[in-house]
Structure 1
Amino acid sequence: MSIPSSSGASLPLPRWAYVPGSAADADADYDTLAQVMALVPSRFRDFVPARHPALRYGLALNDHGFFWESQQVLEAVWAAAPQGGRERILLRACTQIAGANLKLRMMKSHAASRLLGEALGELKTLSLRKAVAGGDGFADGFPTAALAALLQAKLALPQLSKADWVKIGAVART
């Protein structure tokens, strides 16, 4: 299976989902990740384009259950995002959500709750920053309020389980 990028080319999914400390002892599929990491520039100029293939791939990885891999890609995009930009805040929240999803898979619900709470805090910070009307940046058209509401609903649960993981891209498409 592959994920179409905004350029029309397909990027393959990793061959397996890496889970640190798992009994499988398999390393991450670094060869597949290298293909997308090569698409991340050293710096984005003014904003991170919402349709950038590495960004879209990182979000899709999360939504396909490749949480560790999603974190790696989203962190690379975050590192290239302009300092102080709205995209940087949203990317940090998305990275924390992918991390929380990984913690849920590892059955570490308290750590997952902490990360979801931190992501919610980032989304609240983002909501205080003015969006650019009609802007092409990732954070300009992202449904921050919908994602924040989803995180609040998850955090209101008495105990999180593996089934409570968050699909970021699904929120963006609604």
Structure 2
Amino acid sequence: MSAAVTTAAGVRRSPWAVTSRTIVFGAIGAALYGALGIFSFIIPGTGNVAIRPAIALIPFVGVRFGPIAGFFTGAIGNAIVDQIQGAGFLTYWNWSLANGLTGLVAGLIAHYLKEPKKTGAQLTRVAGISLVAVVIGMLFTASDILLGNTAEYWFFAEYLPALLTTVVASVIIAPALDQAWKPLQNLSGR
């Protein structure tokens, strides 16, 4: 069974439970994403869309530690990256929320989608969850239309490039992070 679904005693836990573990792993995820997220590269011809491999931490944290930790990792981690890169906390607030929603969706899907026993199926599960979570979470960036961008600009210069780079990074790196975490999960009490 998935560590995100049951406690050590085998009792099913609410995906909305906020425990000290949720807070700690969400804060660690946000700090890691904030620190590693500065290693990003703006794609020319887009609306400041960056290739950011660290973004794979968001669905990974959501899958392993739940939707609250995933949301915190995405929203706060992205705000940290924006602050470090000089954009400030409020310039791209909707993109921070979109990243948070990506982690939240990943956590919810993982909570309800049973974890398979075979390694290949586990990798496919995390990759699939990452893909769906990114597509859904990044849709929140459509709020850029309300902030003055045209729908065409948002879709072609922001959403599609962000979606493609985020999906590629997440589908490749999140399953690898998940497999690397497996030997450590007993040490964390998960």
Q: Same fold (TM over 0.5)?
A: no
Structure ranking higher in helix proportion:
2
State the TM-score, normalizing by the size of structure 1.
Answer: 0.40
